[in-house]
Structure 1
Amino acid sequence: MKDQVLSFIERHQLLHNGATVLVGVSGGADSLLLLRYLLTLKNAWQLHIVVVSIDHGLRGDESADDVKYVESICQQWGVPFIAKQVDVKGRKSVHKEGTQLAARTLRYQVFEETMKEVNADLLALAHHGDDQVETVVMRMVRQSNPSLLQGIPVKRSFANGYIVRPFLCLSKDEIYQYCREYQLVPREDPSNQSTTYTRNFFRLKVLPLLKQQNDQIHQHIQAMTERASEDQNYLESKANDLLENVVSLEENMVFFDIESFKAYPIALQRRAFHLILNYLYQGVPRDLSYQHEADFFALLKQVKSNVSLDFPASLKVTKNYQEIRFHFLEKFDKEWADLQTLKVPSIVSLTNGATLSVGYTSRASHEDHHTLHIPKENQSLFPLRMRVRKPGDRMMVKGLNGHKKVKDIFIDEKVPVYKRDRWPLIFGADGTLLWIVGLKKAEIKENSSSSKYIVLTYTDSNE
Structure 2
Amino acid sequence: MRQEVLSFINKHQLLKKGATVIVGVSGGPDSMALLHFLKTIKKEWKLTVIAASVDHQLRGEESLSDLHYVKRICDEWGIVFAGASVDVPAYRVKHKLGTEVAAREVRYQFFGEQMEHYDADYLALGHHGDDQIETMLMKLTRTASSSALTGIPVQRAFSTGMIIRPFLCITKHMIEVYCKENQIEVRLDSTNYEVDYTRNYYRNKVVPLIKDRNDNIHRTTQHLSETLAEDEKYLRKAAREMVEELITFHAENKTAILDGNLFKNRAQALQRRAFHLILNYLYNDVPKDLSYIHEEQFFALLQRDDGNTQIDFPNDLKLENSYGKILFYFSNHRKAPSNQPYSFLLDIPGKLVLPGGSTITANFVEKHIVQDQYSHTFFAGQVVLPLHIRTRMPGDRMSWDGLNGSKKLKDIFIDAKIPISERNSWPIVTDAKGKILWLIGLKKSQLDPQQEKGSIIQLNFEKGNLSCTNGFQPPHL
Give the structure-2-normalised TM-score: 0.80
Kindly indicate whether the alpha-carbon contact (under 8 Å) linking 1:22 and 1:124 is maintained by their aligned counterparts in 2: yes
User: Displacement, 1:308?
Assistant: 3.6
User: Displacement, 1:268?
Assistant: 3.8
Write out aligned runs for 1:281-430 (5 A). Answer: 281-302=283-304, 304-326=306-328, 330-333=333-336, 336-339=339-342, 347-351=352-356, 354-357=357-360, 361-362=363-364, 364=366, 369-371=373-375, 384=388, 386-387=390-391, 392-399=394-401, 400-424=403-427
Kindly indicate whether the alpha-carbon contact (under 8 Å) linking 1:253 and 1:328 is maintained by their aligned counterparts in 2: no
Which of 272, 275, 288 is equivalent to 1:273? 275
When structure 1 is superposed on structure 2, of 23-32 and 65-74 the one drifting more is: 65-74
Looking at structure 1, the residues matched to 445 and 2 of structure 2 have their Cα atoms a distance apart, in angstroms, of 86
Kindly indicate whether the alpha-carbon contact (under 8 Å) linking 2:24 and 2:51 is maintained by their aligned counterparts in 1: yes
Kindly indicate whether the alpha-carbon contact (under 8 Å) linking 1:394 and 1:403 is maintained by their aligned counterparts in 2: no
Structure 1 residue aligned with 2:246: 247
Looking at structure 2, the residues matched to 417 and 111 of structure 1 have their Cα atoms a distance apart, in angstroms, of 53
SS at match of 1:215: coil
Looking at structure 2, the residues matched to 444 and 188 of structure 1 have their Cα atoms a distance apart, in angstroms, of 92
* 1:345-393 superposed Cα distances (whole Å, 9 cap, x missing partner): 6643534xx32346x6325486754356899999998794645x57x45
Kindly indicate whether the alpha-carbon contact (under 8 Å) linking 1:438 and 1:458 is maintained by their aligned counterparts in 2: no
Write out aligned runs for 1:4-403 (5 A). Answer: 4-84=4-84, 86-239=86-239, 247-251=246-250, 252-256=255-259, 258=261, 260-302=262-304, 304-326=306-328, 330-333=333-336, 336-339=339-342, 347-351=352-356, 354-357=357-360, 361-362=363-364, 364=366, 369-371=373-375, 384=388, 386-387=390-391, 392-399=394-401, 400-403=403-406
When structure 1 is superposed on structure 2, of 106-115 and 31-40 the one drifting more is: 106-115
SS at match of 2:149: helix
Looking at structure 2, the residues matched to 439 and 214 of structure 1 have their Cα atoms a distance apart, in angstroms, of 69
* 1:6-59 superposed Cα distances (whole Å, 9 cap, x missing partner): 121112111111111111122222112211111111111111122222333434
User: Displacement, 1:406?
Assistant: 3.0
Looking at structure 1, the residues matched to 64 and 108 of structure 2 have their Cα atoms a distance apart, in angstroms, of 19
Looking at structure 2, the residues matched to 117 and 301 of structure 1 have their Cα atoms a distance apart, in angstroms, of 54
Looking at structure 2, the residues matched to 40 and 83 of structure 1 have their Cα atoms a distance apart, in angstroms, of 22
Counterpart amino acid of residue 310 in structure 1: D
User: Displacement, 1:407?
Assistant: 2.7
Looking at structure 1, the residues matched to 319 and 60 of structure 2 have their Cα atoms a distance apart, in angstroms, of 49
Structure 2 residue aligned with 1:460: 464
Looking at structure 2, the residues matched to 56 and 444 of structure 1 have their Cα atoms a distance apart, in angstroms, of 83
Cα distance 1:282–1:453, how it changes in 2: closer, same or farther (>3 A)? same
Looking at structure 2, the residues matched to 420 and 171 of structure 1 have their Cα atoms a distance apart, in angstroms, of 65
Cα distance 1:92–1:452, how it changes in 2: closer, same or farther (>3 A)? farther
Kindly indicate whether the alpha-carbon contact (under 8 Å) linking 2:57 and 2:87 is maintained by their aligned counterparts in 1: yes
Identity rate, percent: 42
Structure 1 residue aligned with 2:3: 3
Cα distance 1:427–1:49, how it changes in 2: closer, same or farther (>3 A)? farther
SS at match of 2:16: coil
* 1:422-459 superposed Cα distances (whole Å, 9 cap, x missing partner): 44456778776665444345568896565497967443
Structure 2 residue aligned with 1:439: 442
* 1:179-215 superposed Cα distances (whole Å, 9 cap, x missing partner): 2233333333333333222112211221222222233
Counterpart amino acid of residue 246 in structure 2: V
Counterpart amino acid of residue 267 in structure 1: A
Kindly indicate whether the alpha-carbon contact (under 8 Å) linking 2:306 and 2:324 is maintained by their aligned counterparts in 1: no
Looking at structure 2, the residues matched to 108 and 82 of structure 1 have their Cα atoms a distance apart, in angstroms, of 14
User: Displacement, 1:64?
Assistant: 3.8
Counterpart amino acid of residue 297 in structure 1: F
Aligned pair count? 456
Counterpart amino acid of residue 35 in structure 2: L
SS at match of 1:150: coil
Please list every run of 5 or more consecutive structure 2 residues that lacks an aligned counterpart in the other structure.
466-472
Counterpart amino acid of residue 463 in structure 2: T
User: Displacement, 1:94?
Assistant: 4.7
Kindly indicate whether the alpha-carbon contact (under 8 Å) linking 1:30 and 1:175 is maintained by their aligned counterparts in 2: yes
Looking at structure 1, the residues matched to 64 and 386 of structure 2 have their Cα atoms a distance apart, in angstroms, of 80
Counterpart amino acid of residue 304 in structure 1: D
* 1:62-113 superposed Cα distances (whole Å, 9 cap, x missing partner): 4444333323332332222223455544554454332222332333333334
User: Displacement, 1:159?
Assistant: 2.7
Kindly indicate whether the alpha-carbon contact (under 8 Å) linking 1:254 and 1:276 is maintained by their aligned counterparts in 2: no
Looking at structure 1, the residues matched to 243 and 334 of structure 2 have their Cα atoms a distance apart, in angstroms, of 28
Kindly indicate whether the alpha-carbon contact (under 8 Å) linking 1:376 and 1:454 is maintained by their aligned counterparts in 2: no
Looking at structure 2, the residues matched to 186 and 80 of structure 1 have their Cα atoms a distance apart, in angstroms, of 19
Looking at structure 2, the residues matched to 383 and 91 of structure 1 have their Cα atoms a distance apart, in angstroms, of 68
